[in-house]
Structure 1
Amino acid sequence: MELILDVVLDAVIDSVKTLPFLYAAFLLMEFIEHHAAGKLSLALEKAGHSRLGGAAAGAALGCIPQCGFSAAASNLYASRIIGAGTLMAVYISTSDEAIPVLLAHPDQIGSLWKLIAAKLVIAVIGGVLFSFIGKFMLSKDDEADFEEMCSGCGCENHSIWFSAFKHTLSIFLFILIVNLVLGLVIGFAGEENVSAFLNNMGVWQPFAAALVGMIPNCAASVIITELYANGSIPFGTAVGGLCTGAGMGLAVLFRANKKLKDNLIFVLYLYIIGVVSGILINAAF
């Protein structure tokens, strides 16, 4: 019972942290829908999504130690306010709990800056590359489809503030449920068993770490960062696992974006980036 109560409390706290980001994202989407949808579509038609600029901005914002921006960015991509490369850069650079955990280890301050720099570089390169790949592999729908996103929700009958609140509440409940389920799974499985799984993988650690990192829960980034801080896994393996740690971003992407094939491409590409990054950094250092 104590474990369940702890999981529920952690799930509520982690989910509440996403609220400001989600509300801000939906408020922006509502404003564009009601006041600037035509201008946005025209701008996208003329200029397209900025690849390098979008990836750089996404990488920088993703590095902020929080777990809500990746979820908000998924909603922005689902309505095509940002491009696929920008969203991928956010996913790769998202640090979740890694930065606070490293700050708790004074002897790892030097590693903190290396981690941030590595994830920034990988995020920009990965985001720009994905924007090119997306042209051929993702669905061809560059314009924001606000009508489909808000179909049947009655947004036109309310202020943008209330409509944004309704959408935020819907996604918040989804995130809360996912956090509860994953928290219970990890709680009963035992974080020590996940740690042992990574420790016993040998040269296959980057593959395992990237897989663990994709768990949409802050526990994954905590486990990976603690293993690195304690010397159990090398720097490259930690970077690879944290590159796939997009927080609740992927879960929200599957909830908000209706194109399953596109979502699976995001997942596969993110995993490949994590594995390749881990292998290359381990080989270099």
Structure 2
Amino acid sequence: MELLIDIVKDGVIDSVKILPFLFITYLIMEYLEHKTQDFTQDIVQKTEHFGPLWGGLIGIFPQCGFSAAASNLYAGRVITLGTLIAIYLSTSDEMIPLFISEQFPVRTMIKILAVKAVIGIIAGFVIDAVVHYYHKIKGRSLNDPVNIEALCEKEHCRCEEDDHEGPLGIVKSAFVHTMHIFLFVLVLSLILNAAIELIGSENLSAMLKTSPVISHILAGIIGLIPNCAASVIISTLYLDQMITFGTMMSGLLVGAGIGLLVLFRVNDDKKQNINITILLFVVGTVVGLLLDLIGIKL
């Protein structure tokens, strides 16, 4: 019973933490849809080339909510794929609080955050450049239209109805979107917490002490777990000097909190979601392995 209570408590806490981010994101998106869609389309097209820069910098703040917000913005085509990946790669969730609680040197912690941000920014710009080149040779438009209405249709929030017009209507629609995603994340968080408890943190830790290449792959797989517990395990092992800096980075770069979970919920193109997940995993683990091969240590 005590274990069940802990699982439920952790699941609720993990889910509640993203509520403010989700609600603010949907408020902004609802306002953009109802009030300034043409203007927004123009602004997005003019500033999208700088998206990975802002995404990499924003992502380093210690909250899973930013990656969730990014997933919603990408599903509405408000941000580019490169910006989404930049935020995913730089997202830090529970790493910073854990380092602070262990009195980890602040200077070293800042360096780690800087490395994550730089990797996210570079990867984001490269990905956007590749996507733009691919679209160009295929003769497709380089800019996807902002498509916030698709989220409304998927969530059945009835945003188009008269009673959803005006400030109160925008708040109501944003609330409906937020609760749908919150309940979805809550249920899956409970399932994931139960799975982690059954497997055991010790078993996950033991798997990361194998050969260098395998440890990076396993760290990346653990990082994919849409739960802050993954980054806690990886960061703790690094603090205990059981894994290398590169191995830790593999897990933390891939770890996007509940961002991927939200992406699969709000973005209808499941094949695209899988490709994004694979792309995130490959970039994170390859960069982590390269950091070890180069011999970078912090």
CA-based RMSD: 1.8
- Superposed, which structure 2 residues align to 1:1-285 within 5 Å? 1-44=1-44, 47=46, 50-51=48-49, 53-135=50-132, 136=134, 142-151=144-153, 152-156=156-160, 157-158=163-164, 159-285=169-295
Number of aligned residues: 282
Letter in 2 for 1:200: T
State the 1:107 CA deviation: 4.4
> Are the aligned partners of 2:67 and 2:259 in contact in 1 as well (CA < 8 Å)?
yes
> Are the aligned partners of 1:89 and 1:123 in contact in 2 as well (CA < 8 Å)?
yes
Q: Identity over the aligned pairs, expressed in percent?
A: 44
Letter in 2 for 1:166: V
Letter in 1 for 2:17: K
Moved more, 154-163 or 164-173: 154-163
State the 1:148 CA deviation: 2.4
State the 1:203 CA deviation: 3.7
State the 1:182 CA deviation: 0.3
Deviations 1:16-36 (A, max 9, x none): 010000001000110011001
Name the CA distance, whole Å, in 1 between partners of 2:108 and 2:117. Answer: 14
Q: For structure 1, list consecutive stretches of 5 or more residues without a partner in the other structure.
A: none
Name the CA distance, whole Å, in 1 between partners of 2:150 and 2:190. Answer: 29
Letter in 1 for 2:48: S
Q: For structure 2, list consecutive stretches of 5 or more residues without a partner in the other structure.
A: none
TM-score (norm 1): 0.94
> Are the aligned partners of 1:195 and 1:223 in contact in 2 as well (CA < 8 Å)?
yes
State the 1:202 CA deviation: 3.7
Moved more, 72-81 or 35-44: 35-44
Moved more, 143-152 or 84-93: 143-152
Letter in 2 for 1:19: L
